[in-house]
């Protein structure tokens, strides 16, 4: 995500453009705040859990946001994946195949009744199915149609499986919730956000469990179907293809057939128009469907941003290989300014960041921040969405690459000079205490992952040369789409493709807090 001010993840990305210098949460867009390029927003090396629960995130609209746990959970480790940053998230014995999310939403009240089917493969040696669930009470659970006992200790939903259940089970979970955003341990709000006349979700890194019982970890990808009932006149946007327009009490149905982890769920409800943007043809000949979401009746105001997508699409395809998903679109919604999120196949932007009045720009132009956000979230469809991080410590595979891609685009259109930008950022990496490849909760959406991490990617490019570098990126996506991968896997592929021992390089650039003073000479 991009966090200018920060949103889903607030990242302080200092962009030294002519005008706006903003901190960015790569998917949470943050408001343009003047942050000196040389001042990393994140303070490093803090104790992982030493994040004051009440720390107001930049751009937070409420001082009353409740605090949720740190993700470690309260149960034994068999209910968590032992993720270094969020040990309690996910479950080692559960591999979700698909989610069917059926919500009947009372938009005015900000609440819903839910029936969620989670189809999962569960290790038959483990007679329980653990899901992440926080802040709501489950009414009933059925396994393959029969009532099943369950508990909700801490932030977990533990379902007891029948002794004779097959490896693949369908858990049907019925509950009601009135969710809201809560501060994640990273210091940013995540979860379900109420807006005027609607809502949106921003799940990264651990917000999905605030409203959806799920295996809330990026390592577990599944297919998704959303059946969302709202009052007539209200629009629902979710990931994937629009199967059915909701009207006269019928649900809006969206289907995401390409596997996706929980943090990339897109669910926006409110007074919006769904815009059929036609399609683009990928370099490999595939049709990529474009579906956008704009404030009702305001498509004309957002058309120039929509029109920018094909140019960025072509630019990135030339460098990263064929667009790896089936669809794309831009969603301009009533969300926190300064925050943007690469929700899979349809990126989430704050409509306020794309209104001329907010920046005093010529209304025919697209300003620096807008170009940055549009490029950053599109690039994530390759880096983070097609290939997702196996653990949250691998977040640089998302953010450092999307940030580097964003700078490539800004250089292409003349808003930055790439070499100058990288030199300036390298200077900023001469101090600091956090390595890009070993983030803390505070840094994972901070400078070392974003602008400071793009330096690592640039150094790799200089080390191996342009041909090998872009071949590596295309191969990384081409051979791993649909999976979640580790930093070690990336390093291994880099070494395989180049035939070089890159151990010293990654130790010095990815796993050191303070980087070499000079870029590699190749």
User: Could you tell me the smallest distance in angstroms from the CB atom of residue 341 to Zn ion?
Assistant: 8
User: Could you tell me the smallest distance in angstroms from the CB atom of residue 343 to Zn ion?
Assistant: 11
Nearest CA to 38 out of 452, 411, 373 is that of 452
Nearest CA to 446 out of 35, 164, 17, 107 is that of 35
Nearer to Zn ion, 251 or 446 (CB): 446
User: Could you tell me the smallest distance in angstroms from the CB atom of residue 50 to Zn ion?
Assistant: 24
Is-contact 379 457, C-beta < 8 A?
A: no
CA distances from 209 to 50, 149, 184, 214, 237 (A): 22, 20, 11, 6, 20
Could you give the residue ranges of the DSSP H alpha helices within 198-342?
Answer: 299-306, 309-320
User: Could you tell me the smallest distance in angstroms from the CB atom of residue 201 to Zn ion?
Assistant: 17
User: Could you tell me the smallest distance in angstroms from the CB atom of residue 408 to Zn ion?
Assistant: 14
Could you give the residue ranges of the DSSP H alpha helices within 307-382?
Answer: 309-320, 368-380
Is-contact 306 330, C-beta < 8 A?
A: yes
Q: How far apart are CA 425 and CA 6, in angstroms?
A: 20
User: Could you tell me the smallest distance in angstroms from the CB atom of residue 454 to Zn ion?
Assistant: 11
User: Could you tell me the smallest distance in angstroms from the CB atom of residue 465 to Zn ion?
Assistant: 26
Residue nearest Zn ion, CB atom distance: 26
Nearest CA to 349 out of 331, 369, 327, 328 is that of 331
Nearer to Zn ion, 1 or 267 (CB): 1
Nearer to Zn ion, 206 or 399 (CB): 399
Q: How far apart are CA 300 and CA 38, in angstroms?
A: 38
Nearer to Zn ion, 85 or 173 (CB): 85
Nearer to Zn ion, 27 or 334 (CB): 27
Owner of token pair 């170009």? 371
Map residue 176 onto helix, strand or coil.
strand
Is-contact 256 240, C-beta < 8 A?
A: yes
Q: DSSP letters of 281-315?
A: E-TTS-EEEEEEEEETT-HHHHHHHHTTHHHHHHH
User: Could you tell me the smallest distance in angstroms from the CB atom of residue 402 to Zn ion?
Assistant: 4
- Beta-ladder partners of 483: 387
Q: How far apart are CA 314 and CA 319, in angstroms?
A: 9
Parallel, antiparallel or unpaired: strands 168-177 and 156-160: unpaired
User: Could you tell me the smallest distance in angstroms from the CB atom of residue 376 to Zn ion?
Assistant: 5
User: Could you tell me the smallest distance in angstroms from the CB atom of residue 505 to Zn ion?
Assistant: 24
Burial, 301: exposed, middle or buried (Cβ in 10 Å; 0-12, 13-18, 19+)? middle
Nearer to Zn ion, 42 or 172 (CB): 42
Nearer to Zn ion, 213 or 324 (CB): 324
Nearer to Zn ion, 26 or 236 (CB): 26
Backbone angles phi, psi at 195, to 5 degrees: -130, 180
Is-contact 187 51, C-beta < 8 A?
A: yes
User: Could you tell me the smallest distance in angstroms from the CB atom of residue 25 to Zn ion?
Assistant: 7
- CA torsion through residues 485, 81, 376, 396, sign: negative
Q: How far apart are CA 78 and CA 41, in angstroms?
A: 35
Chain residues in the site for Zn ion (CB under 5 A): 1-2, 26-27, 399, 402
Nearer to Zn ion, 172 or 388 (CB): 388
Question: Which helix (H) or strand (E) element contains residue 12?
Answer: none
Nearer to Zn ion, 264 or 402 (CB): 402
Nearer to Zn ion, 120 or 339 (CB): 339
């Amino acid at each position: 995500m991009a966090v200018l001010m920060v949103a889903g993840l607030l990242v302080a990305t200092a962009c030294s453009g002519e005008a706006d210098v903003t901190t960015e949460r790569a998917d949470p867009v943050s408001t343009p705040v003047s942050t000196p390029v040389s001042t990393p927003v994140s303070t490093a090396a803090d104790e992982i859990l030493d994040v004051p629960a009440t720390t107001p995130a930049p751009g937070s609209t409420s001082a009353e946001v409740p605090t949720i746990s740190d993700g470690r959970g309260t149960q034994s480790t068999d209910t968590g994946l032992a993720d270094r940053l969020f040990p309690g998230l996910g479950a080692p014995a559960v591999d979700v195949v698909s989610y069917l999310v059926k919500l009947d939403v009372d938009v005015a009240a900000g609440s819903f009744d839910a029936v969620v089917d989670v189809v999962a493969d569960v290790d038959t040696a483990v007679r329980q199915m653990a899901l992440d669930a926080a802040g709501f009470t489950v009414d009933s659970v059925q396994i393959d149609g029969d009532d099943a006992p369950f508990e909700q200790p801490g932030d977990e939903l533990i379902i007891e499986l029948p002794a004779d259940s097959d490896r693949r089970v369908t858990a049907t979970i019925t509950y009601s919730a009135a969710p809201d955003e809560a501060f994640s341990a990273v210091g940013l709000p995540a979860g379900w956000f109420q807006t005027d006349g609607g809502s949106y979700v921003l799940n990264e890194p651990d917000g999905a469990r605030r409203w959806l019982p799920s295996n809330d970890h990026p390592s577990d990808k599944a297919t998704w179907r959303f059946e969302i009932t709202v009052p007539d006149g209200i629009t629902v946007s979710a990931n994937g293809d629009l199967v059915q327009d909701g009207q006269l009490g019928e649900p809006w149905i969206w289907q995401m057939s390409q596997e996706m982890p929980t943090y990339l769920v897109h669910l926006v409800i409110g007074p919006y128009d769904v815009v059929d943007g036609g399609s683009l043809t990928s370099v490999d000949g595939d049709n990529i469907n474009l579906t956008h979401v704009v404030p009702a009746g305001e498509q004309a105001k957002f058309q120039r941003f929509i029109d920018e997508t094909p140019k960025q699409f072509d630019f990135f395809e030339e460098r990263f290989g064929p667009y790896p998903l089936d669809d794309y679109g831009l969603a301009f919604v009533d969300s926190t300014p300064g925050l943007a999120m690469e929700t899979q196949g349809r990126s989430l932007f704050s409509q306020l960041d794309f209104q001329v009045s907010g920046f005093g720009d010529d209304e025919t132009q697209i300003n620096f921040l807008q170009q940055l956000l549009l490029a950053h979230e599109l690039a994530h469809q390759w880096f983070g969405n097609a290939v997702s991080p196996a653990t949250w410590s691998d977040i640089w595979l998302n953010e450092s690459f999307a940030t580097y891609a964003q700078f490539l685009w800004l250089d292409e259109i003349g808003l930055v000079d790439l070499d100058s930008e990288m030199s300036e950022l390298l200077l900023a990496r001469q101090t600091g205490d956090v390595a890009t490849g070993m983030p803390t909760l505070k840094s994972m959406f901070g400078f070392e992952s974003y602008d400071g991490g793009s330096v690592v990617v640039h150094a790799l490019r200089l080390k191996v040369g342009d041909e090998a570098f872009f071949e590596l990126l295309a191969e990384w996506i081409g051979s791993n789409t649909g999976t979640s991968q580790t930093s070690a896997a990336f390093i291994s592929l880099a070494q395989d493709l180049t035939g070089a021992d890159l151990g010293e390089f990654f130790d010095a650039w990815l796993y050191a807090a303070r980087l070499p003073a000079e870029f590699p000479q190749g």
